[in-house]
Chains A and B, each alone.
Chain A
């Protein structure tokens, strides 16, 4: 029983990070129809912000707070200069964003000098409930993710900007005809997605060591999550991330770990092949 609760807690922490990454990716994919291959590098930039603030003696906290804003701003600049050229050609967009990601990743690798840096957890230690130890930081990750999900949902469903976003999502042409500037909305959406990636990066860096490849390990899983959940919905990517997260952390217990890792991808891919529209539409049809 104790073991089960601990296990669920660990899965929840890992899945939370996935959800943050996938939410940003999913929002961009739904709105603009492009898959952002540089998303892993935006996660990396978030992690790097924390490292910088720690390195300059400020401690990790200013970095954690600043990361979403810094990365959101970088996302905004990228969108205005490069990404917006690719909205009409989603396949080429994969290459373009891959190139952007490659440039960011290799520059950071050069700055880090190829070393692994570890950053201490900003809140160390654990608290115990009923004799079970829970790490503070992992709990914070779960809570933050829940808050972000709730916040994004409210933003989309209750505010006027959310209404415009939904309008542009449903029918961009009609939205433009109604005087909604889809260009501005796309820029904001991209910045928002980037900010989520930055936040995710800031939250995971104490758990994993900082290296230039920190974002890449999540990228393929995140893509599959978005496709699994279905592009164009808010709930889809979140559910997809949960499914992939649970598979990724649960399968190693069922089959040998070497096989489990690729198996997650194959299973997810097979599901997408059978249900290209994603499984969230099941309830809508």
Chain B
């Protein structure tokens, strides 16, 4: 709280300046409008609706990585682990309990993802010894890798073949197949999660997270339990990844060991960094851009074969030359970090 009032105080002392135009809300509104317009514009092209649904679902995964890396500094190679496990759980609930009502299974998937990531966070982050960030990155990588190997050899969950013909997601008597209705459900999830995440990272807690990114040690000396904050964000991100994984399984009607491994995690990393990490909307834009590019280029055989090479080059170029991603080109650093809690205008009166 103190930190917030102090920031507001310094702001009040600053000479009045014309406020720069805020680009980020404009981009957010634009992307939302685009995604809402899709079912109306593309209703005659079922394959494009399927692609859009995939993009929306993968955006959730990319966003969950952004919460880890962009907001709490955890390089997580394990987002696919929560994604995959939740996907398997809804598939198994559908197979063994013959139950797939979305009002229960989607929260269940979030719970599974959240609990699993909370368990992982308490092992990797919490404890007497503060772990190095490299160790945490390896921990998540190892977790995802070990889980992939375990599932690939486990007969009950279909071993290497995975689970196919997953029971369709249902609401009451209505069953969702690929199409506009499924897209609507996925988009609603994305919007809800986006709003919740935005609330989280722009709240007072978000201020702590921003401080952590600047100087973790100093925050610790202020008395914040830095690792607990990291663990909380990591668990929330795990829940988001779980939701994404459940939707993905339902949508594809299939889930396999590769949905759980470091490969998919890294794809999420590429989406997020390409769009611009630490902005929440960046991962969504990155997913849209890369998936569209992949769709357009997939027609040419020569390019499809070397598509992973292109992804690698994209990742390399981004980390070497443009670490803030696409959004970094148009959004200022000041806006990316953002303002917190009380609005500058109203707070200046309070401090006086």
Contacts and interface: CB of A to CB of B under 8 A. Distances in A.
B320 interface: yes
B142 A224 contact: yes
A125 B266 CA distance: 43
A220 B147 CA distance: 13
Given A98-B266, A262-B150, A82 B320 contact: yes
Interface in B131-153: 131-135, 137-139, 141-142, 145-147, 149-150, 153
A261 B150 contact: yes
Of B75, B134, B150, which is in contact with the most chain A CB atoms at under 10 Å from its CB?
Answer: B134
Contact of A102 (B129, B134, B312): B312
A220 B141 contact: yes
A99 B314 CA distance: 8
Contacts of B306: 106-107, 110
A244 to B, nearest CB: 12
A269 interface: yes
Contacts of A273: 123-124, 127, 129, 131, 135, 139
Nearest to B133: A91
Contacts of B131: 273, 276
Interface residues of B, number: 37
Contacts of B90: none
Given A95-B273, A258-B153, A220 B145 contact: yes
A94 interface: yes
A92 interface: yes
B48 to A, nearest CB: 27
A52 to B, nearest CB: 20
B294 to A, nearest CB: 14
Interface in B269-307: 269, 273, 305-306
B118 to A, nearest CB: 16
Interface string A242-283: 000000000000000111011001101100110010000000
B119 interface: no
A85 B319 CA distance: 10
B308 A106 contact: yes
Of the four ranges (under 10, 10 to 19, 20 to 34, 35 or more), the interface on chain A belongs to 35 or more
**B interface secondary structure, majority:** helix
Given A91-B75, A96-B319, A100-B316, A262 B149 contact: yes
Contacts of A101: 312
Contact of B153 (A99, A100, A227, A261): A261
Contacts of A99: 312-313, 315-316, 319
A59 interface: no
Nearest to B132: A276
B323 interface: yes
A110 B305 CA distance: 7
A224 B134 CA distance: 12
**A interface secondary structure, majority:** helix
Contacts of A95: 75, 269, 273, 315, 319
A257 B155 CA distance: 13
Contacts of A259: 150
B320 A85 contact: yes
Contact of B135 (A220, A266, A272): A272
Interface in A72-102: 82, 85-86, 90-92, 94-96, 98-102
Given A107-B309, A262-B149, A98 B138 contact: no
Nearest to A263: B146
B288 to A, nearest CB: 21
Nearest to A95: B319
B316 A106 contact: no
A92 B324 CA distance: 12
A266 B146 CA distance: 8
A128 to B, nearest CB: 35
The 5 closest A-B CB pairs, nearest first, are: A102-B312, A262-B146, A258-B153, A99-B316, A103-B312
Given A96-B320, A258-B154, A265-B142, 4 more contacts: A106-B306, A257-B153, A258-B153, A273-B139
Interface of B: 75, 123-124, 127, 129, 131-135, 137-139, 141-142, 145-147, 149-150, 153-154, 266, 269, 273, 305-306, 308-309, 311-313, 315-316, 319-320, 323
12 contacts: A85-B320, A86-B319, A95-B75, A98-B315, A99-B313, A110-B309, A220-B145, A227-B135, A227-B138, A257-B153, A273-B123, A276-B129
